[in-house]
Amino acid sequence: MNENNQTHFGYRDVDENDKAGLVGKVFSSVATRYDIMNDLMSMGNHRIWKALTIRQSGLKPGDQALDIAAGTGDLSRKFADQVGKTGKVVMTDINPEMLEQGKNRMIDEGYLGNIEFGIEDAEDLSFEDNRFNCVSISFGLRNVTRIPKALKSMYRVTKPGGRLLVLEFSHPQNPLLKKIYDAYSFAVIPKIGELVANDRESYQYLVESIRKHPDQETLKGMMLDAGYDEVRVQNMHGGIVALHIGYKY
């Protein structure tokens, strides 16, 4: 195997062409327990992180938003409220099972008039250039095989004057917090996955994928390299989670 064509799947080295399929199996497995596992793993804090992200969208009535790796639609739902009846939210995921879960939730909660759904690969988005006032990806970028390629694709579809929101687990800034966080992550999260979702392996991967994700400054640099004119970083819970906001002028 050519080393240049390798990437990581958790702590395993795999061929780049195999990663998407492996990640797909993870999310197909966890789709029906996704929401409850998010609440349990984060002790409900994911709702705070997402609320803070939504407040940074800059969306107004009539705007268009793209939610990549949208999962069950926590961001999409609020974006739909922000853009109103004259706006549009496109809710996407690369995994059909996850998108189906999200679509069903939107239907159940009455969000249909200004939301569209689609299977999309973040590395090769199908939308026209300069379309969206806000592009978001929440807890999904670390699962992308080629992050620089995905960021360039997101930049292409971001409208001048618009922004990209990347909400992702990151790297705690305090050494003591990092030790506590690592202990919790490796000892508790896979066990919760085993007990609640009957799937320890998928949640072991999720814990490992967080450690392989670029740190705050590295990701900031990658977003600037993709074309964004300005990037700022907002750490949450001491850097356990970080929101990167990139602006296209």
Q: By residue range, what is the domain housing residue 81?
A: 3-173+205-247
Query: Within a domain: residue 108?
Result: yes
Task: Tell me the per-residue pLDDT of 73-92, one tens digit each, with 9 for 90 and over.
Answer: 999 999 999 999 999 999 99
- Give residue 196's pLDDT: 83
Element (DSSP H or E) covering residue 183: helix 175-196
pLDDT at 2 over 50: no
Query: Within a domain: residue 180?
Result: no
Query: Within a domain: residue 39?
Result: yes
Query: Within a domain: residue 159?
Result: yes
Structural domain tally of the chain?
1
Element (DSSP H or E) covering residue 142: none
Query: Within a domain: residue 211?
Result: yes
pTM for this prediction: 0.93
CA distances from 168 to 4, 130, 216, 235 (A): 26, 24, 10, 10
Query: Within a domain: residue 198?
Result: no
Task: Tell me the per-residue pLDDT of 157-175, one tens digit each, with 9 for 90 and over.
Answer: 999 999 999 999 999 999 9
Query: Within a domain: residue 147?
Result: yes
Q: What are the E-state strand segments in 115-224? A: 115-119, 132-138, 158-169
CATH number of the domain bearing residue 228: 3.40.50.150
Query: Within a domain: residue 225?
Result: yes
